[in-house]
A and B are shown apart, each in its own frame.
Chain A
Amino acid sequence: MNGRLTAAAALAALMAAGPAMAELVIPNLSYRTGPYAPGGIPYADGFNDFFTLLNERDGGIGGERVRVIECETAYNTEKGVECYEATKGEGSLVYNPLSTGITYQLIPRATADGIPLYTPGYGRTSAANGRVFEWVFNYPANYWDAASVAIRYLLDENGGSLTGKKIALVYHNSAYGKEPIRTLQELARKHGYELLEIAVDHPGQEQKSQWLQIRQQRPDYVLMWGWGVMNAVAIQEAANIRYPMENFIGVWWSGSENDVLPAGDGANGYKSLAMHGTGMDYPVYAALKQHVYDRGLASGAGDQIGSVLYSRGMYAALVIAEAVRKAQAIHGVAQVSPAQLRDGFEQLEITEARMAELGLPDFGQAFAATCEDHGGPGAGRIQQWDAAAKRWSLITPFIAPDDEVLTPLILEDSTAFAAENNITQRCQ
């Protein structure tokens, strides 16, 4: 017991630091360690660097400097909760935990505490329904959009019909990996393909039996919902069994350089979804180089710049920064509160012109949030890996998801959540 009290006293002394003055505090719940670090590191770097750019070039957002507090979660929900509680007291404005598991933890907590949660391309899909999920935003696209976009792309490839085709889903056996199953089942009913569900357990380093199953069942296409080391292992295994890479499509979390590089030439032709452009051919990198990289302010080792997930971290930071700006405009104060920022998120509109102005033309899709719609248009592109040139190339324009199937699913899931938790629907 005495040990506990000493530890407690030491902790108390450390936690006694006063709250920060006149800053926009944005926590970055990142993971730079563990089996998911290949995804966590570039994302966190991109997220940090964009805010550093705003601080260095513009003096922050609307004259307020941004303070990013990084907290290591290791993709672990218990550490995620610790990070949330530790950063909450600092006046955090918005959470972006980059983990579906942690998002599920934080939805009720953040809702009770009145802090917005921004989960672009991950998290709880049905949070797209703003009537139920007041504090959660997941635009521009979510998992079910991704599933639908992938199927639409395959429909296009097959002249509009997937009847009699066999599609396998290799998924991370967690909330994240299970998210698309409902949608893919629903779409299977509509388009007449056969869905084969193949689970891979955390962390996904061992997939021999799963790919043996694929070799035996010979699906026409393989979709993958993987993350961390699981991606690289799956692509390597697919190459080992000589599965045709052009028929292997990963979600946007399974399509980064770190996933394909270990398989070398074997990964050539592997496809993945993309919710934004990638590479260094955007004007924003000139500004980043001048204000961030050349001054030695780059986050992390600085070796992830321009990669897919770096771009995504930057994109998330950009949307948050725009929401802060919107909130400042609505409420006329520079030091916005989390509740004011929520209004900013809800009325946010990002146009092509605005993206070009920010130095990222033709990067992401335009979207406008409303009280009901926290999910955005949900379109996605397909990118393909060129192993010789070591780069991703976008091979389709933005493909819109099948809202006819998705909207009822989202409605069903979110109303069930509302009923379970006694939430009265908003925006009436």
Chain B
Amino acid sequence: MLYREAGDFKTTYAADGQTFPIAFDRWRYYGVLAVAFGVVPFLINDYWANAVFVPFLIYAIAAIGLNILTGYCGQVSLGTGGFMAVGAYACYKLMTAFPEVSILVHIVLAGGITAGVGLLFGIPSLRIKGFYLAVATLAAQFFLVWLFNKVPWFYNYSASGQISAPERTFLGVAVTGAATPAWAKYLVCLVFVVALAWVARNLTRGALGRQWMAIRDMDIAAEIIGVNPLRAKLAAFAISSFYVGIAGALLFAVYLGAVEVGEAFGINKAFLVLFMIIIGGLGSIFGSFAGAAFLVLLPVLLKNVLVGGLGWSTSLAAHIELMIVGALIVLFLIVEPHGLAQLWRLAKEKLRLWPFPH
């Protein structure tokens, strides 16, 4: 049968401890990767890249980042928009200051700079918890947006305060700027997503991830059993910010090409990413993907159905869309408070037993 452990013999510890212990699951994972790398780039066009895949992949990175902090380590953050802005502005400053260095290096460096900033704003987490920490990170959100608006150095003194990504190439193919082909945009984001998701998955399965979860579940108990809260919490802040910073850099450089901080990285963005992980599932890498897909793709799908398919007026469709998305969020949280990831987990459990559930 399809979804079974039976007959899938593990002969080493490594094989026994792998991420996808069930053969079917493993093959599905390889299948998705093969399609994502081998099929989609050949079929993708500008619409699919810019409206569907690129935003989905970028928000998935941001959601994984926030999930590390909130879902795994239990530290609520409302500063995601501000940290994405740090990534975007760091990337902009780097790519204009050092045009000869590869853009991909800049994106990673932008993540590194964001990690530093996140570390700084993570220090209060050692003293304050819960709602109070949320307020502290909210301060980070407003401060960072204000900073990038106020100090002209960050936007190279441009008249409008906008930052625009100049064209940068990788192996001769444009990666940023208007001339970027759809497949290049998609592939750049995909490579980052796959690499970062792989790292995140393995981090959370390892010692560091277990420390985070111990802190999340009960920090005093964690401390008693020997987890260093300073190290664990700050590592969570730094790594989470690294992810969020890369998402911000990609959002600016690859996806939008020009941003202004108040509009692109406002408090709405922080809530959007937070909703993604709540709906997707706290403490789950798959949940980050599911949540990002839910909140990025559903509005686009609804818009196409209501306006394109049913021919409704755009304003009515926009209002109904808000209502449908809102209602679905409430419904999902009532039916399954642990998010889409839990539904997926339950489905897998049922599949394992099917067709003999007793």
- Minimum distance in angstroms from B46 CB to a CB of chain A: 5
Please name all residues of chain A whose beta carbon is closer than 8 Å to the beta carbon of B342 when the two chains form the complex. none
B149 (CB) vs chain A CBs: closest residue: A173
Contact partner of B161 (CB less than 8 A), chosen from A71, A113, A178, A413, is A178
The answer to whether A82 and B263 touch across the interface, beta carbons within 8 angstroms, is no
Q: Does B179 contact A (CB under 8 A)?
A: yes
**Bound Cα distance A298, B58 (Å):** 40
Q: Does A157 contact B (CB under 8 A)?
A: no
Q: Indicate with 1 or 0, residue by residue over A261-299, a CB within 8 angstroms of chain B CB atoms.
A: 000000000000000000000000000000000000000
Q: A11-B301, A101-B263 are in contact. Are A85 and B160 (CB under 8 A)?
A: no
Chain A residues positioned under 8 Å from B297 (CB to CB): 4, 7-8, 11
Interface: B102 (CB within 8 A): no
Bound complex: CA A403 to CA B300 (Å): 45
Q: How far is the CA of A394 from the CA of B183 in the complex (A)?
A: 53
Binary flags per residue of A9-30, CB closer than 8 Å to B gives 1, else 0: 0110011010000000000001
Q: Does A199 contact B (CB under 8 A)?
A: yes
- Which residues of chain B are within 8 angstroms of A4 by Cβ–Cβ distance? 56, 289, 293, 297
CA distance A255 to B296 in the complex (A): 35
> Would B315 and A78 count as touching, CB distance under 8 A?
no
> Cβ of A78 and Cβ of B256 under 8 Å apart?
yes
Stretch of A102-110, A148-156, A369-377 contacting B (4+ beta carbons < 8 Å): A102-110
For B266, the closest partner residue in chain A by CB is A202
Contacts of B22 in A (CB 8 A): none
**Which residues of chain A have C-beta atoms less than 8 A from B319's C-beta?**
33
* Known contacts A4-B293, A104-B162, A178-B160, A17 near B308 by CB under 8 Å: yes
Q: Tally chain A residues at the interface, Cβ within 8 Å.
A: 55
Instruction: Determine the distance from Cα of A109 to Cα of B289 in the docked complex, in whole angstroms.
Output: 28
Q: Quick check: is A182 within 8 A (CB to CB) of the other chain?
A: yes
* Residue pair B289, A104 in contact (C-beta under 8 Å): no
The chain B residue sitting closest to A105, CB to CB, is B258
Q: Which residues of B contact A86 (CB under 8 A)?
A: 47, 51, 304
Known contacts: A82-B300, A85-B50. The answer to whether A105 contacts B166 by CB under 8 A is: no
Query: From residue A421, how far is it (CB to closest CB) to chain B in Å?
Result: 7
Report the minimal beta-carbon distance from B185 to chain A, rounded to whole angstroms.
12
The answer to whether B178 touches A108 (Cβ under 8 A) is yes
Q: Are B164 and A3 in contact (CB under 8 A)?
A: no
- Given A7-B293, A81-B256, A124-B160, A30:B314 Cβ within 8 A: yes
Say whether B235 faces chain A, with CB atoms less than 8 Å apart: no
Is B208 part of the binding interface, using a Cβ–Cβ cutoff of 8 Å?
no
Report B172 CB to chain A, min CB distance, Å.
16
* Interface pair B179/A112, CB less than 8 Å apart: yes
| CB-nearest residue of chain A to B32 | A1
Q: In the complex, are the beta carbons of B160 and A179 less than 8 A apart?
A: yes
Nearest CB to that of B40 among chain A residues? A8
Does A420 interact with chain B (Cβ within 8 Å)?
yes
Q: Which residue of B lies closest to A30 (CB)?
A: B314
* Chain B residues, Cβ within 8 Å of A3: 290, 293-294, 340
Q: With A85-B51, A108-B164 known to touch, is A77 a contact of B298 (CB < 8 Å)? A: no
Q: Mark A80-91, 1 if CB is under 8 A from B, else 0.
A: 011001101100
With A4-B293, A108-B178: A72-B314 Cβ-Cβ less than 8 Å: yes
Q: A3-B340, A72-B303, A88-B46 are in contact. Are A104 and B258 (CB under 8 A)?
A: yes
**Is A7 a contact of B50 with CB atoms below 8 Å?**
no
Contact of A112 among B178, B259, B322 (CB under 8 A): B178
B248 CB to closest chain A CB (Å) equals: 13
From 163 to 180 in chain B, residues with beta carbon under 8 angstroms from any chain A beta carbon are 164, 166-167, 177-179
Q: Decide yes or no whether B257 CB sits under 8 A from chain A.
A: yes
Docked complex Cα distance between A86 and B45 (Å): 11
With the chains together, A176 CA to B55 CA distance in Å? 25
A74 at the interface (CB under 8 A from B): yes
Residues of A113-151 at the interface with B, using a CB-CB cut-off of 8 Å, are 113, 124-126
Rounded to whole angstroms, the CA-CA distance of A78 and B50 in the bound complex is: 9
Contact A88 B47 (CB under 8 A): yes
Cβ of B94 within 8 Å of any chain A Cβ, yes or no, is no
The residues of B that contact A109 with a CB separation of less than 8 Å are 178, 257
CB-CB < 8 A to B301: which residues of A?
7, 10-11
- Give the distance in Å from the alpha carbon of A300 to the alpha carbon of B315 in the complex: 9
Closest Cβ neighbor of A179 among chain B residues: B160
Minimum CB–CB distance from A181 to chain B (whole Å) comes to: 7
* Of A76, A78, A81, most B-chain CB atoms within 10 Å: A78
Chain B residues contacting A175 (CB-CB under 8 Å) are: 160-162, 260
Q: Select one of A1, A173, A421 contacting B289, CB under 8 A.
A: A1
A78 to B252, CA, bound (A): 11
Q: Mark B272-311, 1 if CB is under 8 A from A, else 0.
A: 0000000000000010011001100110110111011100
B149 neighbours in A (Cβ, 8 Å): 173, 199
Residues of chain A with a CB closer than 8 A to B315's CB? 32-33, 41, 72, 300
Residues of A contacting B167 in the complex (Cβ-Cβ under 8 angstroms): 421-422
Nearest-CB distance from B318 to chain A (Å)? 4
What 1/0 flags go to A60-74 for Cβ under 8 Å of B? 000000000011101
User: Given that A32-B314, A413-B159 are contacting pairs, would A11 and B55 also be in contact in the complex, using a CB cutoff of 8 Å?
Assistant: no
CB-CB < 8 A to A71: which residues of B? Answer: 307, 314
Taking a contact as CB atoms under 8 Å apart, the answer to whether A74 and B164 are in contact is no
Please tell me if the beta carbons of A104 and B305 are within 8 angstroms of each other in the complex. no
Q: Which residues of B contact A182 (CB under 8 A)?
A: 159
18 A-B residue pairings within 8 Å (CB atoms): A3-B340, A7-B297, A7-B301, A11-B301, A15-B304, A32-B318, A72-B314, A81-B255, A85-B47, A101-B260, A104-B258, A105-B257, A111-B178, A124-B160, A174-B262, A175-B161, A202-B263, A421-B177
Query: Told that A72-B318, A86-B47 touch, could you supply 18 new A-B pairs with CB distance under 8 A?
Result: A3-B290, A3-B293, A4-B293, A10-B301, A14-B304, A14-B309, A15-B47, A30-B314, A81-B50, A104-B164, A112-B179, A173-B149, A175-B260, A178-B160, A179-B159, A179-B160, A202-B262, A413-B159
The list of the 3 closest CB pairs from A to B, nearest first, reads A32-B315, A108-B178, A112-B178
